[in-house]
Structure 1
């Protein structure tokens, strides 16, 4: 059975995370020619520094155990060099890592480097990693986009996510009765 992988934080519902994503998307830059696909390089190198966050890129051997982390109390975001390169290559993992770390910041998670649920048991909706992943999906794949695409692959391409993430997002929205129709390739 799956269990939470982060630390315990204030509870958040999917509905609340969707509302946060809707509000946030209005200030996030998109790539030229798209109203959906986020410009993750600009988020990392312009938006977050404008909000007071310093970006630090570290060599792989210094932070080999995680792709990136934020230290909100120091207004610092640290990216492993190879992941930073993936952001500039517009790779889905690099892109989602930017939004994931930004999600921790937006949700006021103070300990983003702490991975692995501690001794205190908690439920998924109280889990820092679950919340950041759910908010990342909501930000990168807005409901309007999910309702307007023909297939899982089309959503992944339009939003710059993995097919696996797009499939999970669509299945979650279908389960909650939010999708108007099931896209091709979604086996719910």
Structure 2
């Protein structure tokens, strides 16, 4: 399903059709699991994403495999839920230890697919992209990644994109999007608006 935005952008869902989730339900799920995730030493919000990959996911029954860059040229990582496996490109794995924001968010994104129980389901007559964003696996994984990495408390405390990015170990672009989205939902201003 193609969506036309007020700024003239046209977007189509990029993932697979899955059970729908609202921003509110994704926030609730993120809040519930965030407390179980390791933080960088001495940090209040900045997740230890290498430890999530190497310890948290294996403790939850998921193995991980590092793949050569040439073997995964079209994606940074992927998850095979039915095999309890996360496959990460070698350069993304290296980024975890460099504190690179893309490497960090990639691991949380894949964990999001696991938490949301995304699996490939074939639907007779289903057309890729012919579903709502709230039913899109990639939209959901991106939204829950933002909620996990930049919890509401951090967003309220930070106030600016730059400060939020520094506090949570994300990009300024991601922090800006997160704060704008929370403002649209009325969570930073006291106004409430419903969004899917």
Who is 1:186 aligned against?
Answer: none
Map residues 24-173 of structure 1 onto 2, 5 A cutoff: 24-111=33-120, 118-119=127-128, 121-173=130-182
**Could you list the runs of 5+ residues in structure 1 that have no partner in the other structure?**
112-116, 182-188
Alpha carbons 2:12, 2:129 under 8 Å: kept? no
Alpha carbons 1:38, 1:140 under 8 Å: kept? yes
Deviations 1:54-78 (A, max 9, x none): 1100101111110000101001100
Where 1:33 maps in the other structure, the secondary structure is coil
Distance 1:74 1:32, change over 3 A: same
TM-score by length of 1: 0.91
Alpha carbons 1:7, 1:118 under 8 Å: kept? no
- Whether 1:178 aligns to 2:194 is no
**Could you list the runs of 5+ residues in structure 2 that have no partner in the other structure?**
1-9, 121-125, 191-196
Counting matched residue pairs gives 177
Where 1:70 maps in the other structure, the secondary structure is strand
Alpha carbons 1:147, 1:180 under 8 Å: kept? no
Please provide the CA RMSD for this pair.
Answer: 1.6
Distance 1:55 1:146, change over 3 A: same
TM-score by length of 2: 0.87
Where 2:87 maps in the other structure, the secondary structure is strand
* Alpha-carbon offset, residue 118 of structure 1: 4.2
